[in-house]
Amino acid sequence: MGNSVANGNKSTAASTAIISKDPFSFVYQDLIFHVQSIRYQMIEIAKYLDDRWKNEQKIQKELKPHSITFVDPYGNSITNKSMDH
């Protein structure tokens, strides 16, 4: 299925094979082509975001964390965590 989606995104022959004279009609194959194209784009975006998230996690592990604890007059503590850049 992954190959059919990838191949469908690069080929426009299926979407241009049938030309309708009615501007408000659509071709079923054209609809399928667009759905597959959108699905392929969503998969690519998900991969990109996943790679970026893993990269951010790796960078955060490499940074030194610092925390400052504030204590208010009532004895409640507030911890502010920050990272070196």
Q: pLDDT per residue over 55-67, tens digit each? A: 988 887 777 777 7
Q: For residue 19, what are its two tokens? A: 């030309």
pLDDT-derived band of residue 35, with 50, 70 and 90 as boundaries? very high
| pLDDT at res. 26 | 66
For residues 57 and 51, give the distance between their C-alpha atoms in angstroms, rounded to a whole number: 10
**Cα dihedral sign, 13-14-20-25:** negative
For residues 76 and 69, give the distance between their C-alpha atoms in angstroms, rounded to a whole number: 10
pLDDT-derived band of residue 42, with 50, 70 and 90 as boundaries? very high
pLDDT-derived band of residue 37, with 50, 70 and 90 as boundaries? very high
The overall average pLDDT reported for the chain is: 74
